[in-house]
Structure 1
Amino acid sequence: MITVENLTKSFQHNGGTVRALDGVSMEVPSGAVCGVVGASGAGKSTLARCIALLEKPDSGAIRVEGTDLVALDGKALRAARRQIGVVPQGDSLLRQRTAAGNIALPLEAAAVSGPQRRTRVAELLDLVGLSDKAGVYPDQLSGGQRQRIAVARALAAKPSVLLADEPTSALDPSTTDSVLAVLDRARSELGVTVLVVTHDMAVVRRIADDVAVLEDGRVVEHGKVLDLVSEPGSRISSSLLPETDQAGSLKPGSGHDVVAEVVLVGFAAVGALLPEASSRFGVELSILGGGLTRLGDTPVAKFKVGLTGERAEQALKWMVERDAHVRRAPVSVDGVAAA
């Protein structure tokens, strides 16, 4: 588990002080993938560098499995750094070394024996799906393949935490998928806790269990992705789920007794809840906007619906009782908002 407590970090810039992190607190469960998102300058990369011990925070604590890394120095600090693998932003491979040679670098630094190094490198090449590229140099690899080798190198010393800073930057969609699949495998097969700094919400949609939104050095939203998308007004919900209409509003719909925004999570709810509600309560249900997406392996739908019939309110209540998340706007039959 990664626990960040009241972290602050400032820099001097153009004669003034810039506070990159301002009291950041967050928690990432062991074995989870957490996406850290926000606009440029929000503090994402500074947070990652502090957790990786590449930058020392001004104050606060960074705990990995209960140990405060900020309080360490000397031998203890070096040992802690080995528990944190880092995939830097951009292309970081050494051009004079093969793919296997790049992966072996951390093992050589740790004085791991030749046979053990070769075994570990082979395991990691298999993990990232590039066993046939062991003897190939970086300039002969695609951008996505280089990133997968960079992930393998970061995993070489068997860290408990993997930090990836914009790992899919400048990659096309199919190549992005291959890199994200490797990060997901690191979590699922190796049990590594993964922190991904990204501006791309598709990364969060594809592999994140948790997400933290940074703005001006502060965490403004944090939690499990599937919980946040169900909360009205959530920034993550508006970024990850389909828009229900151009304005994203719940303006009354003419001819409907009730207009509501409904978020449905999971296979059963997405496939059956709306038609069953319509049939069970004898109401006409119209889809006025929205759509279906997938968060990890979980389908999630967000619809704007209009319900017409005497039991429209009962139908909505029944859906809520079955874990639908509903934000409703009651209207009269002529489309005028009810008092």
Structure 2
Amino acid sequence: MITVENVSKSFRSRTGSVVALDGVSLEVNAGAALGVVGPSGSGKSTLARVVSLQERPDAGAIRLDGLNTATLDTRSLRATRRQIGFVAGDAQLFNQRTAAGNIALPLEQSGVDGPQRRARVGRLLDLIGLTDKAAAYPVDLTDGQRRRVAVARALVGEPGLLLADDPTANLDADGAAGVMAVLDRARAELGVTLLVATQDTNVVRRICDDIALLEAGRLLEHGNLFELLHDPESVAVRELLPVIDATPSVGHDRTADVVLIGFAAVGALLPEAASRFGVQVSVLGGGLTRLGETPVARFRIGLRGERADGALAWIGDRGGIVHQPLAGPQGVAA
């Protein structure tokens, strides 16, 4: 488990001191994937560097499986860093080395023998889907392929924790999808704990269990994605789910915002509610996305019929989330 306890970090600038992190506290369970999201300058990259022990916080503590890293001497700190993989948004590969050679470099520096190096590099080339590019040089690879090689290099030391700072930055859709697939496979097949700092909410939707939202160095929100869906005030929900650009509601007895999770709910819950309660249900706005492999819909719906209240209550009882009940003058108690 990663525990960040009241961490603060500032940097000097020409105009004075810049606060990058301001009392940030959060936890990441072993084997989980946390997406740290925020605009440029929010502190997410600084948090990634602090957790990866590349930077020391000014205040607070970083604990890795209970170990307070602030108490480590230089030798112990170096050994602990080797248990952490770090990959930046710019691939920073060595142009004179092949893809396999770039991945092998940390093992060469650590004195790992040739047969063991080749075995580990081969496994990682397979994991990133580039076995056929082992002998290719960076100039012959696409941007997305170079980024995948950088991820493999960060994993070659068999770390328990992988930090990825803006791993899909400046990639096209195919390149970004390839990097996300590699990060997801690394967690599933290698068991690494994953922390991804990103501005790209697609990364969080695709591979993360949890989200932490930063703004101006402060933590706005932190939690499990599916649990946050139940909070009508959640900033994460607004960031991750489809925007409701609803058409004006005319002639509806009730109007409500609903979140539906899973194939069965998304495909059948609204039509079944309409049938059971003899009401007309119209989708006024919203849309469909996925969190991991799970479809999630957010809709604004309008209902016509005497049993509209009952239909909304039934949707809630069947796992639908009725977020912001809206209706004429009296509202809806869902």
TM range (shorter): over 0.9
For 1:185, give the aligned amino acid: R
**Identical amino acids, percent of aligned pairs:** 59
Structure 2 match to 1:289: 285
Find the partner of 1:315 among 303, 311, 315: 311
**Structure 1 segment 226-245 matched on structure 2, within 5 A:** 226-245=226-245
2:246–2:286 contact (8 Å) kept in structure 1: no
2:261–2:297 contact (8 Å) kept in structure 1: yes
**Structure 1 segment 1-339 matched on structure 2, within 5 A:** 1-245=1-245, 253-326=249-322, 327-331=324-328, 337-338=329-330
1:43–1:215 contact (8 Å) kept in structure 2: yes
Deviation at 1:298, TM superposition (A): 0.5
For 1:338, give the aligned amino acid: Q
* Alpha-carbon distance in structure 2 between the residues aligned to 1:174 and 1:229: 28
Aligned positions, number: 330
1:229–1:240 contact (8 Å) kept in structure 2: no
1:8–1:21 contact (8 Å) kept in structure 2: yes
Q: Which moved more, 1:87-96 or 1:123-132?
A: 87-96
* Alpha-carbon distance in structure 1 between the residues aligned to 2:284 and 2:15: 54
* Alpha-carbon distance in structure 2 between the residues aligned to 1:241 and 1:13: 37
1:125 alignment partner, SS class: helix
* Alpha-carbon distance in structure 2 between the residues aligned to 1:177 and 1:89: 14
1:31 alignment partner, SS class: coil
* Alpha-carbon distance in structure 1 between the residues aligned to 2:44 and 2:246: 30
* Alpha-carbon distance in structure 1 between the residues aligned to 2:101 and 2:207: 29
1:94 alignment partner, SS class: coil
1:229–1:241 contact (8 Å) kept in structure 2: no
Deviation at 1:15, TM superposition (A): 4.3
* Alpha-carbon distance in structure 2 between the residues aligned to 1:41 and 1:15: 16
* Alpha-carbon distance in structure 2 between the residues aligned to 1:180 and 1:81: 24
For 1:222, give the aligned amino acid: H
Deviation at 1:223, TM superposition (A): 0.8
Deviation at 1:330, TM superposition (A): 2.7
Q: Deviations over 1:64-119 (max 9, x none)?
A: 22212222122211111011000022131111111111111111122111111111
For 2:237, give the aligned amino acid: S
TM-score normalised to the size of structure 1?
Answer: 0.94
For 1:329, give the aligned amino acid: L
1:292–1:302 contact (8 Å) kept in structure 2: yes
For 2:330, give the aligned amino acid: A
* Alpha-carbon distance in structure 2 between the residues aligned to 1:257 and 1:329: 10
Alignment root-mean-square deviation, CA: 1.4
**Where does the alignment leave 5 or more consecutive residues of structure 2 unmatched?**
none
For 2:144, give the aligned amino acid: G
* Alpha-carbon distance in structure 1 between the residues aligned to 2:59 and 2:239: 32
**Where does the alignment leave 5 or more consecutive residues of structure 1 unmatched?**
332-336
1:210–1:225 contact (8 Å) kept in structure 2: yes
* Alpha-carbon distance in structure 2 between the residues aligned to 1:208 and 1:71: 30
For 1:256, give the aligned amino acid: H
